[in-house]
Amino acid sequence: MSLYNDIKNQIKDAMRARDAIRLNALRNLAAGLQTELIAKKTTDVELKDDETLAVIRRLVKQRKDSIEQFTKGGRDDLVNDEKAELAILETYLPAMMNQEDIKKIAEAKKTELGVTDKTKTGILMSVIMKELKGKADGADVKAVVESLF
């Protein structure tokens, strides 16, 4: 079963369980998936798993930004709701690499490309991000690359 269909089925399960937070998170996710499907202007009935994961990553990033903004605004009630939704969305994402694993790959790419100074960090970052697409958080990769110089 595709991830798209799995999410649709879990909406029904959340309704049966009367889990309002999970239901809200899944409905927001389904709306995001539907929006992506419409934006693609395709005749496909559902998104592929990699496209679905891209939408989930975008929604996770939005939740993190919202948490930051609500925290600055002192809206703890909204922060708690966003954190709950974030936790649910993150269950659909594959596990991210830790910084030690990223550092090994970054050091290998650094020597492979012959990067010796900080002016080439952008090139190094782009090569590493292409290799680790979906496996590592961009902020972690950036921190590792900056620590190499």
Range of the domain at 116: 99-147
Query: Are 106 and 124 within 8 A, CB to CB?
Result: yes
Q: What is the DSSP letter of 120?
A: G
Number of structural domains found in the chain: 2
Residues 55-76 have pLDDT tens digits of: 898 999 999 999 999 999 989 8
* 72 in the same domain as 12: yes
* 12 in the same domain as 38: yes
Query: Are 81 and 21 within 8 A, CB to CB?
Result: yes
* 69 in the same domain as 133: no
- Express the helix, strand and coil content of the chain in percent, nearest 5 each: 75, 0, 25
* 83 in the same domain as 20: yes
> How far is residue 22 CA from its own chain's centroid?
18
Distance between CA atoms of residues 65 and 135, nearest Å:
20
Distance between CA atoms of residues 62 and 39, nearest Å:
18
Distance between CA atoms of residues 73 and 33, nearest Å:
29
* 110 in the same domain as 84: no
Residues 84-142 have pLDDT tens digits of: 999 999 898 888 888 888 888 888 888 888 877 788 788 888 888 888 877 787 788 88
Nearest to 84 by CA among 21, 11, 19, 140: 21
pTM over 0.75? The answer is no
